[in-house]
A and B are shown apart, each in its own frame.
Chain A
Amino acid sequence: QQQVKQSPQSLIVQKGGISIINCAYENTAFDYFPWYQQFPGKGPALLIAIRPDVSEKKEGRFTISFNKSAKQFSLHIMDSQPGDSATYFCAASMLGSGSARQLTFGSGTQLTVLP
């Protein structure tokens, strides 16, 4: 129930195309859904995040779509650029027994944007 399932494992997109990465979760106690971008040799960096009280959030070329009833959320990268080539992780968190939150990550999507 703590799992977050992410697909596809890898994605190749032409420059200017739309990249779509999907995630699904089971635990309805999750209430915060961030996406992280990771370049080789670097730590994950927050890209964009959403809470379940909204169905969509857009920041520049990045959009999260959230479907609460289906327990799914997705990342859309519009006008994909070669510099977007990285590994993308979805994550989910809920307030636990302690005062901090832990992030549960998806398995990651290796995005390659061809020039």
Chain B
Amino acid sequence: EPEVTQTPSHQVTQMGQEVILRCVPISNHLYFYWYRQILGQKVEFLVSFYNNEISEKSEIFDDQFSVERPDGSNFTLKIRSTKLEDSAMYFCASSRDRVDSGNTIYFGEGSWLTVV
């Protein structure tokens, strides 16, 4: 079964540093997403990306965050000037079409970010 792959699986960074999390969505998917999950809490939507631009973003996704699809396969999340509260599991996801009936969103295994 095709899968969403994410790197790195775990990254430790110092507060104030920039971090780039990388994702390779499923090849024929058109919609890409980042979600995050703070330890022990629920999964929260960050941003969706379609047709080479941000489709929707949450309140969490402020100027500290940016996304990019630098080539035909990768989808990246950049976090500038990381804060302690950015420590979380970041999930990349993709879907063939809009996420509703018949269009499944597939999640990667996550990138665990620890800010110290």
> How many residues belonging to B are interface residues under a CB distance threshold of 8 Å?
30
CB-CB < 8 A to B98: which residues of A?
95, 99-101
Q: How large is the interface on A (under 10, 10 to 19, 20 to 34, 35 or more residues)?
A: 20 to 34
B45 contacts chain A at the CB level, 8 A cutoff: yes
CB-CB < 8 A to A106: which residues of B?
42
A20 contacts chain B at the CB level, 8 A cutoff: no
Interface of chain B: mostly helix, strand, loop or mixed: strand
A97 touches B107 (CB 8 A): no
A108 touches B42 (CB 8 A): yes
17 additional contacts, CB 8 Å, given A43-B4, A95-B98, A103-B99? A32-B100, A41-B110, A43-B91, A43-B108, A44-B43, A49-B101, A89-B43, A99-B50, A100-B31, A100-B33, A100-B49, A100-B50, A101-B98, A101-B100, A102-B33, A102-B45, A103-B45
Chain B residues engaging chain A, CB cutoff 8 angstroms? 4, 31, 33, 35, 41-45, 48-51, 54-56, 58, 91, 93, 98-101, 104-110
